[in-house]
Every structure is written in structure tokens, then in C-alpha cells.
Copies of this chain bind each other. A is one copy, B any other.
Amino acid sequence: MNINNLKAERTNRMTGAISELLRVTARPEIISLAGGLPAPESFPLSIINILHKKTVKKYKANAFQYGPTNGAKQLRDAIVRWIKERHIKVLPENVGITSGSQGALDCLGKIFINKNDIIAVESPTYIGALDAFNPYQPEYAEIETDDNGVVPSSLEKILKTRKIKLVYLIPTFQNPTGRTVSRERRIQIAGIIKKNNALLIEDDPYNSIRFRGIPVDPIYTLIPENTVYLSTFSKVLAPGLRIGYYVAPVEVGNLLVSAKQSIDLHTNSYGQYLAAEYLSTGHLKKHLPKILKIYKSRQETMLNALAKYFPPSFQWTHPEGGMFIWIEGPKGLDTEKLYWKAIKKNVAFVPGAYFFARPGEGKNTMRLNYTNVNEKSIEKAINILAEVIKNNL
């Protein structure tokens, strides 16, 4: 039978182009700076064994039974306490558990986006968010960014001149650029969103992954009634457990729960109780410095190698945390062509164009990940990449 005839209209928006592109990076000989994977060495395996015993002993069959759609109360309580350090002060009823942050992005798309609704996103933005929203057939308005992230005046202009359904931002250690929006700009952005009665999705997966500098409070703390805040255990515990969470006004939370009920009933119980114990026993706080130590060293290695090998016509970000460095080459450079040449030399990265909502932008950019490759391989890969670039300028 012809399956293509059965496809829904929205299915044409599920391109999977980047998965196609990155398929070759699975080859073992490739040094991949392409993905966004945490270092497996950063996972607290021996702590997980302790937490497993504790979880089974404490929660017994409940750790393996169906659970509430909004998440286990124990985990929501533990998150309420944990995010107080970010100056987010909420009640457990404002918190819900999702199957990774991706689960929250899909649910938000499902409850809010009608076909042709306009979503304001940074230029560039996180490709996984575009993937989550695209099947609901929105259009995008691109907010300008500079070295300090979102340009508030650009957001203001968009909100004044177009009918925007949602504003989606990653203000801290942005994916793909690594940039963090300053406190001053956050206050401006919050004011603009409030004034225009807009709804902000603040995606904050890398909040705890800070090596340097001073933490900046989430925009959520400024305009909680206009914000759905998303974060995750993927970067501080383990992504394979698929435990993300949202903080939202109760009426948004109720809609998210209605949507999630029909998507997966609830997020896996075992991972939720494990995460609850990880937080409430203080293991997260003790383990986090070990993760930061690994990533800081790898990031510094990459920044040093870029300074040493890359041609002067290239610029890159120097993030105080997160997982990515963003590189801009000279105008006219096509990093997708470069990608295939780098693959021949066994090095992979993500061509930057994939992170733009509008096709054709960012052709001279690329995203490098430093968390999942050791220092020696990073040095080697940047050296090779620089050679490939020099041979193609």
C-alpha cells in the first residue's frame, strides 16, 4: 500500500534533514564536535547505584507503577527547593515533569500553535525547538542577536508589528551560540514581554553548567505570570533518563497536563524517583563540580586550539558555560560544503545554517560541541578543521 497517500499535511514539516546530515558522524573513526551529548564520564554511575537501592527501598513498587501525568510529588517538591538557588520561588503546583525538555516543547506546541501562528525565535535558535514546533505548522519571526544575545529592540519591534503567539528564548549559554543575555537586557526583555502581554518560553537546560562568571537570574523571576520556564536533568544527571521539567502558571500547567496525558500518560516513574533522590540527598550538589571540571578543561582546550590554528578571518564565542562554541567565518563561506570535506578527514561539526528558522541564513557559521570529546581529540580535531578551512578559503 502507498503510505505517502496517508500522510497528514503536517508530516511534510518533519524533515529530519539534520539527522540525515549527521548520520555519518556515528562512524567510529570520526571525532564528532557535532552532537550535543554530555560526556559519559560525567554520569554519576556509582551514585546511581546508591540511588537505585534507595529508590527501590523507599518507593518500592511505586517506582515502577503508573504515576500522575504532572509528575511524582517528591520530584516536584525537590525541584521547588533546587530552583530557589536560581531565585525561582514557586509552589509544587507550578512544576510539572516532562519527557526531557523536548517533551515540554512538543506539549507547548500542541496546546498553543494553530497553523500559521507566528512564533518569535532567536536568530539562530535551538533546532530541537523548531523540530518540536514545526509539525504544528507555525511561521517564525526571527529576533536579531548580537554578541550579547537577544537584541531587545528587535524583540520589541516584532511584538509591536506582528501578532506573535509565543516568544521562545534560550537566554543562558544559548544553543547554538553559547551566549548569555545580561541582567540589564533581561530586565528590558521582561518589560517588553509584559507590556505586550506576550507569553515567553524560557528554555534553560544549561543553567547549572557554568565554569566562570556570575550567574544571571532567569527571566522567569522577573515575569513569572508571562513565562513558561523549562529545564532538565539531562546535563546534571543523565539524559538517557529523559527527565525534564517546566515551571508555569497553573492554568498553563493544566493545559500541559491535558496534552501530556494523551502523548505518553506520564514520564517514566523510576527516573523521576531517582532524580528526586539525587536532588534531595545532596548528591547533585556534590557531583556538579566534577561535571564542571571536565567541561571547563575541554572548553579551554577548544578555545586555545581555535586561537592557535584558526585563520584570523574567523571569530567565535567565549561562553562562560554550556556546551557549545559558535564560529563565524568570512562572508561567502559555505560551512555545509566544508562539512563534507571535514568528514573526509574524520572531523564533524554542525553547519550553522541548520539553526536558523529562515532557510539560507548563517551559511558562514558553525557550531562546535566540546563536552563529549577529550582534550587530545579536541586539539587534533580543531587542527584538522583549520587545515580543511585553509585549503578551502
Residue ranges of A at the interface with B (Cβ–Cβ < 8 Å): 1, 3, 6-11, 14-16, 19, 35, 37-38, 40-41, 43, 45, 48-49, 52, 56, 60-67, 69, 99-100, 102-103, 106, 110-114, 117, 128, 131-132, 134-136, 165-166, 197, 199, 225-226, 234, 238-242, 249, 251-252, 255, 257-259, 261-271
Contact = CB atoms under 8 A, between A and B. Distances in A.
B16 A43 contact: no
A289 to B, nearest CB: 19
Contact of A131 (B110, B261, B271): B261
Contacts of A112: 6-8, 11
Contacts of A113: 8
A117 B5 CA distance: 13
A65 B99 CA distance: 14
Given A103-B263, A242-B266, A226 B1 contact: yes
A258 B8 contact: no
Given A255-B11, A270-B241, A262 B132 contact: yes
Q: Which of A35, A69, A117, A270 has the most CB of B within 10 A?
A: A270
A268 B265 contact: no
B45 A239 contact: no
A14 B267 contact: no
Nearest to A264: B99
A1 B194 CA distance: 9
B197 A14 contact: no
Contacts of A136: 8
B60 A56 contact: no
Nearest 8 A/B pairs, CB to CB: A40-B61, A240-B269, A64-B238, A14-B258, A131-B262, A99-B264, A64-B240, A242-B268
